[in-house]
Amino acid sequence: MPKTTALSFTLIITGAPYVSQAPQTALEFARAVIAAGHRIDRVFLYGDAVHLASTLACAPSDEPQWTQIWSEFLETHRVPAIVCIASALRRGVLDEKEQKRYQRPAHNLEPPFEIAGLGEWVEGTVSSDRTLYFHPTD
């Protein structure tokens, strides 16, 4: 049921899938935000969390495929998702543009994730009503 005062959220994930619970906790929180009638302005992946945007990750079939699950959520609710370019390039997460720029043999960015700079993060923290971080536990 929509709230009378809907809020906007920016979610920043810094923990990697499979080695931290951060992408899972962030997704359950994001689903509850939508269910409560609020809006998610954007999701931002920083540090090791950029692995969440790799379309080449293959978890065993009896484990959650976090990249695909997140991708479906973002598509369904039309939530923009930004991958920090400085974090992504170091960890081998590239879109087609960066593949060409660095002359690498492949690109692996799962849509609808986009690679962008820290300006997007600043924009999010300035314009959203709430900003939440999802960190690793170590």
Partner 1 sequence: MPSLHIVNKAPDHARFQTCLAAVADEDTLLLTENAVLAAVMAQGLPGTVFALSADLEARGLAPADIMANIGRIDFAGFVSLTEATSRIISW
- Residue 25 makes contact with partner 1 by CB under 8 A: yes
Residue 137 CB, shortest distance to partner 1, in Å, is 5
Residue 131 near residue 98 (C-beta atoms within 8 A): no
Element spanning 71, H or E? helix 66-77
- Residue 46 makes contact with partner 1 by CB under 8 A: no
Selected catalytic residue, list 12, 43, 74, 84: 84
- Residue 69 makes contact with partner 1 by CB under 8 A: no
Indicate the residue among 24 and 99 with the shorter CB distance to partner 1. 24
- Residue 28 makes contact with partner 1 by CB under 8 A: yes
Both tokens assigned to 130 = 């709430």
- Is 84 annotated in the active site? yes
- Residue 91 makes contact with partner 1 by CB under 8 A: no
Number of neighbours of residue 101 by Cβ within 10 angstroms: 11
Q: What length is written for the chain?
A: 138
Dihedral over alpha carbons 68, 66, 127, 123 (to 10 degrees):
-80
Catalytic residues: 84
